[in-house]
Amino acid sequence: MSEDSQFRFGAATGIGSMPGGDAREAAKTVTGSFEDFPFLAELPARGPGADMIGRTAGMLVDLYARVEPSGWRFGDRPGRDTRRARSWLGEDLDALEEFTQDYDGPLKVQAVGPWTLAAALELRNGEAALSDPGACRDLAGSLVEGLRLHLDEVRRRIPGARLVLQLDEPSLTSVLRGQVRTASGYRTHRAVDRQIVEATLRDVVQVHTDGPVVVHSCAPDVPFALLRRAGAAAVSFDFSLLTERDDEAIGEAVEAGTRLFTGVVPGIDGPLSDPAGSVMGVRTLWRRLGLRPGLLAEAVTVTPACGLAGASPDYARRALAHCVRAARSLADNPE
């Protein structure tokens, strides 16, 4: 997308999930914490349909899923679980719209990406959709249509926002390595060819024609190069899981203009270091890669390590505020 390089991301934002079940309280916290890069909060504590798989399943077009004891499974028609997922999404959009009147900056919305969805959603036989290439294609196509409608709805409600679409792909590495377990638990599904994974991701990324797409994974070994080739303008990851093996891919990504959403603030309750300490590892990485310090603020958005659904409401508020202060520290003192 030609305008990605000119797109003005905020210096800090959240991942997506927040604790509790009050949509207005979550929207108020998010918009109050991130005045220049808020996001549409997800509240999985409300139950099935508010979780990330159920929420995205509710967005699908002409495909429907319901809750079974083993997880989300395709069904023939939209049932109670689909209606509940759509209702909660509408409630979250209502709350965000209320707290973003006249907002005209970047705004992030999240959905599960095609491969994590294929690893999580079950066919009628109980196996993951991942086991059936045709089902994977149908699922990706349905997701594209659902995301198009969702993005149109957010634009209608918050017309001044410049939308950033985040695709959550925590299972992507497992899909590429053949590590997703079958229903029996005794075997794993065959690894999906990297070119197919990349092509499918590219098709979904291209749904967002007027803004950038960030792909998020808080699993180890994020495939930075593959995501960049698939068209992701940014990659979001848990910074603590990086190893020096990732250096080359990260360096190439930054030099190609890919933005890094560095997850440096813990996602669960615990002591927070001083803001400068939280981004010390990012500065160290920059020096190791030989990158220009002045590029840091242009290339990095500071986030929690993962979603905050498992945190206390008080810690979640403090963690988001800490991200903002850590980003400021990075901008003020890139060395």
Q: Alpha-carbon distance 266 to 307, whole Å?
A: 9
pLDDT at 5 over 70: no
What pLDDT does residue 1 have? 39
Question: What tokens does 15 get?
Answer: 């991942």
Least confident piece of the model among 1-15, 115-129, 233-247: 1-15
What pLDDT does residue 251 have? 94
What pLDDT does residue 294 have? 86
Burial 125-150 (b: 16+ CB within 10 A, else e): eeebbbbbeebbbbbbbbbbebbeeb
Q: Full-prediction pTM beyond 0.85? A: yes
pLDDT digits (tens, 9 = 90+) for 23-69: 999 999 999 999 999 999 999 999 999 999 999 999 999 999 999 99
Average predicted confidence (pLDDT) for the chain: 94
Sorting pLDDT into bands at 50, 70 and 90, what band is 184? confident
Cα end-to-end span (Å), the chain:
31
- Comparing 303 with 77, which gets the higher pLDDT? 303
Contacts of 173 (CB under 8 A, 6+ apart): 179, 217, 219, 220, 221, 222, 223
Q: Alpha-carbon distance 88 to 84, whole Å?
A: 6
pLDDT at 4 over 60: no
What pLDDT does residue 57 have? 97
Average pLDDT over residues 9-13: 96
Q: CB–CB of 247/288 below 8 Å?
A: yes
What count of other Cβ atoms lies within 10 Å of the Cβ of residue 241? 15
pLDDT digits (tens, 9 = 90+) for 130-154: 999 999 999 999 999 999 999 999 9
Average pLDDT over residues 306-334: 94
